[in-house]
Amino acid sequence: MENKNGNLLMPPLWLMYPEIPNGSIGWRMGYGEGYAIDFYLWFNKLEEDDKKKYKEMFPEPKRWEREDNIYEYNNYWTYTWQKDGKPEYDLNNLISDYKDGKNLEYIYFWGHHPKKDGGITKSCFSQWWKSTFNIGHTEYLFMEQYMMAEKARFFGDKEIEEKIMSSYDPKEIKSFGRKVRGFDEEIWNKAKYSIVINGNYNKFMQNERLKTFLLSTGDKILVEASPYDNVWGIQMSEEDVNIKNPELWRGENLLGFALMEVRNEIKRVCKNSNMIDWVSLHKRYS
């Protein structure tokens, strides 16, 4: 599998520029256009067997072409990863595994600050961890900003959306999110999980150090040990004597389960990314 410019294996569009969504004008007029043209010229010259092998090596992400898996509300839509946007993991299944005596390994996280030397810690799993990522031409500073902006868009509150996108403070952003007009919790519950996994997919795919750290957790259960949050966390601190017993958790741990699902997806999509000569490619397409 060679391209016309040399002996380089060309990555699919979603690996080369993960910040550009499928169908975006960025593939037709933006900086992704030149690469997209070269990629398809190269790919279309492959033998059919090689095309099939390539697609197996570099599977499409779930959020690439999934017209059957879209949740829509008014003028808003988002990708869902599982049927009806249900989580791949949930507390009931974890409790079942616990009762069956399975060996469960946990990673508890809370807080959002890096090490003093700037090193990555498990705090990077926080929605408040500062790490910029883009979706199309829109830049986000935190996952909290993405989630709250999507919440405002979901309910059509442009004024709050602008305040969220203008803020540099995750605490302030969260407070703006609570002021979204027209909010309906029952409807929001149908979309919020999908919004969080899509945002975190972009956050970790676009930041190599964060991605490496997430993948380094293997198959361990990620748990937001927030003593305050009973939806995204477990409303229990890491020091609680009962923390290893999910039957006693006081929250749903939706963020922890979402990150585990994102971890699985990145592992699947990037399983052969080490075969790519990224340095040469980025020099060529910089």
For residue 156, give the CATH number of its domain. Answer: 1.10.357.40
Residue 249 sits in the same domain as residue 279: no
**Which pLDDT tens digit goes with each residue over 250-285?**
999 999 999 999 999 999 999 999 999 999 998 999
**Which pLDDT tens digit goes with each residue over 159-217?**
999 999 999 999 999 999 999 999 999 999 999 999 999 999 999 999 999 999 999 99
Residue 171 sits in the same domain as residue 225: yes
Q: Which two tokens stand for residue 67?
A: 């017209």
94: in domain = yes
Q: What's the rounded mean pLDDT across residues 96-101?
A: 97
Q: What's the rounded mean pLDDT across residues 95-118?
A: 94
33: in domain = yes
Spell out the alpha helix ranges (H) of 58-177. 91-99, 143-154, 158-166, 170-177
CA distance 4 to 42: 7
Q: Is the pLDDT of residue 97 over 60?
A: yes
DSSP percent split of the chain into helix, strand, coil, nearest 5: 45, 10, 45
If you search the block for the tokens 């997430």, which residue do you land on? Answer: 214
* Closest C-alpha among 227, 231, 221 to residue 253: 231
- Percent residues over pLDDT 90 in the chain: 88
Per-chain mean pLDDT for the chain: 95
Residue 119 sits in the same domain as residue 35: no
173: in domain = yes
Q: Is the pLDDT of residue 72 over 70?
A: yes
Residue 230 sits in the same domain as residue 101: yes
Number of domains in the chain: 2
Residue 82 DSSP one-character state:
S
pLDDT at residue number 5: 44
Q: Which two tokens stand for residue 158?
A: 């442009």
8: in domain = no
91: in domain = yes
Q: What's the rounded mean pLDDT across residues 43-61?
A: 97
Residue 178 sits in the same domain as residue 213: yes
Residue 165 sits in the same domain as residue 245: yes
Residue 82 sits in the same domain as residue 205: yes
Indicate the pairing of strand 221-224 with strand 106-109: parallel
7: in domain = no
Q: 58: helix, coil or strand?
A: coil
Residue 95 sits in the same domain as residue 196: yes
Q: Per residue in 130-161, is it b (16+ CB within 10 Å) or e — as a string? A: bbebebeeeebbbbbbbbbbbbbbbbebeebb
Q: What's the rounded mean pLDDT across residues 91-100?
A: 98
Residue 245 sits in the same domain as residue 105: yes
pLDDT at residue number 86: 92
pLDDT at residue number 1: 58
Residue 34 sits in the same domain as residue 138: no
212: in domain = yes
Asked whether the beta carbons of 95 and 211 are under 8 A apart, the reply is no
Residue 2 pLDDT class (50, 70, 90 cuts)? low
Q: 107: helix, coil or strand?
A: strand
pLDDT at residue number 286: 82
Residue 264 sits in the same domain as residue 278: no
pTM confidence score? 0.95
CA distance 155 to 76: 8
Residue-range definition of the domain harbouring residue 216: 70-269
Residue 52 sits in the same domain as residue 74: no
237: in domain = yes
If you search the block for the tokens 């033998």, which residue do you land on? Answer: 47
